[in-house]
């Protein structure tokens, strides 16, 4: 098993904000490839949860998959993917837990910036279950954290979650959901954001959060 601590990664400066002058067109092409791979791995996760096959067949499948992992291990980054950006301000964070194109654990969330903030439509399957048939509360908080953080950042500054408060009004069913977030007000380095998750019958989770521009953090707009 590969180490989950990445001392060698820190030594070479990966895993942070990394300037990477790969041309946008090449980034787009690669992103489509890794997203396609991650989509199949996501199918694999769902198929694994829901399989009813016998033990012997599952052992054979496990061995096949272990061989695939070995093939992927033939070329690896020394640590996590970090956030990369080029001179055209194209940024990519393919390992991100919520929207990383290469991350099969990410739903993934496709966040749209609109006039009032951000929204995203997502369809959560069996891998996101908490109570039977319902979305895990931690998953709801994670998705809200992300969309609210993106709203606070507004594509031009770095903000970290300071405090996130969630109110679970009723169970959130697995299936299609709508996330929304908007900025309520700003005070110095603090950005106050409201967010929600809704199903076809209305809001299931409400959240408020304080997102903070860390002292001395670089803003993309200077
Ligand atoms: C270089 C080019 C960049 C290119 C990229 C361009 C754009 C950006 C790209 C990507 C971003 C896009 C999307 C983001 C998407 C998702 C977001 C996910 C968010 C996360 O997943 S992020 C991980 C979880 N998050 C943490 O890991 C934070 C750990 N923590 C800290 O890093 C510090 O703790 C920090 C920074 C929070 C504060 O540190 P600090 O030193 O700056 O703060 P300081 O003490 O000076 O306080 C200043 C004022 O904030 C108040 N304050 C302080 N802390 C507070 C708190 N917790 N709650 C409420 N208020 C708080 C004080 O009361 C004071 O208020 P007042 O001024 O009124 O007195």
Predicted-complex ipTM score: 0.90
For all residues of the chain together, what is the average pLDDT? 92
Give the pLDDT of residue 12.
45
Gap from CA of 65 to ligand 1 centroid (Å): 40
- Residue 156 in this model has a pLDDT that exceeds 90: no
218 pLDDT band, cuts 50/70/90, is low
Q: Which mutation among 98, 207, 208, 212 tests ligand 1's pocket best, with the greatest number of atoms within 8 A of CB? A: 212
16 CB near ligand 1 (under 6 Å)? no
Please give the backbone phi and psi of residue 136, each rounded to the nearest 5 degrees, phi first.
-60, 135
Cα–Cα distance, 154 to 162 (Å, whole number): 17
Cα–Cα distance, 55 to 41 (Å, whole number): 21
- Residue 7 in this model has a pLDDT that exceeds 60: no
Domain residue limits, the chain: 1-104, 109-212
Query: What is the DSSP code string of 5-53?
Result: S-HHHHHHT-SSEEE----HHHHHHHHHHHHHHHHHHHHHHHHHHH---
Tens digits of per-residue pLDDT, 116-133? 999 999 999 999 999 999
Gap from CA of 210 to ligand 1 centroid (Å): 8
- Residue 8 in this model has a pLDDT that exceeds 90: no
153 CB near ligand 1 (under 6 Å)? yes
The fold adopted by the segment(s) 109-212 is Thiol Ester Dehydrase; Chain A (3.10.129)
- Residue 200 in this model has a pLDDT that exceeds 90: yes
Q: What's 217's DSSP letter? A: P
The better pLDDT of the pair 168, 5 is held by 168
Beta sheet of 91-92, edge-to-edge order = 17-19, 83-85, 91-92
Gap from CA of 211 to ligand 1 centroid (Å): 5
Average pLDDT over residues 185-208: 98
Average pLDDT over residues 186-209: 98
Name beta bridge partners: 135: 129
Cα–Cα distance, 57 to 179 (Å, whole number): 39
- Highest mean pLDDT among 15-24, 80-89, 122-131 belongs to 122-131
Residue 217 Cα: closest atom of ligand 1: 1
Percent above pLDDT 90 for the chain: 84
- In this structure, which residue's CA is closest to atom 17 in ligand 1? 149
- Residue 3 in this model has a pLDDT that exceeds 90: no
């Amino acid at each position: 098993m590969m180490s989950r601590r990445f001392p060698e990664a820190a030594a070479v400066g990966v895993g942070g904000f990394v300037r990477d002058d790969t041309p946008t067109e090449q980034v787009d092409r690669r992103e489509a490839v890794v997203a396609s791979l991650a989509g199949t791995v996501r199918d694999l996760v769902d198929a694994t949860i829901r399989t009813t096959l016998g033990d012997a067949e599952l052992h054979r499948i496990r061995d096949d998959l272990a061989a695939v992992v070995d093939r992927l291990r033939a070329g690896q980054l020394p640590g996590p993917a970090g956030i990369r950006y080029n001179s055209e301000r194209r940024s990519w964070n393919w390992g991100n837990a919520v929207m990383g194109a290469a991350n099969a654990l990410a739903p993934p969330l496709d966040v749209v910036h609109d006039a009032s903030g951000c929204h995203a439509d997502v369809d959560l399957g069996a891998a996101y279950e908490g109570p039977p048939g319902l979305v895990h509360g931690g998953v709801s908080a994670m998705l809200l954290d992300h969309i609210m953080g993106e709203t606070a950042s507004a594509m031009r500054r770095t903000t970290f979650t300071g405090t996130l408060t969630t109110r679970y009004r009723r169970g959130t069913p697995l299936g299609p959901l709508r996330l929304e977030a908007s900025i309520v007000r700003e005070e110095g380095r603090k950005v106050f954001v409201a967010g929600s998750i809704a199903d076809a019958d209305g809001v299931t989770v409400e959240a408020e959060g304080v997102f903070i521009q860390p002292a001395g953090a670089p803003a993309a707009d200077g």
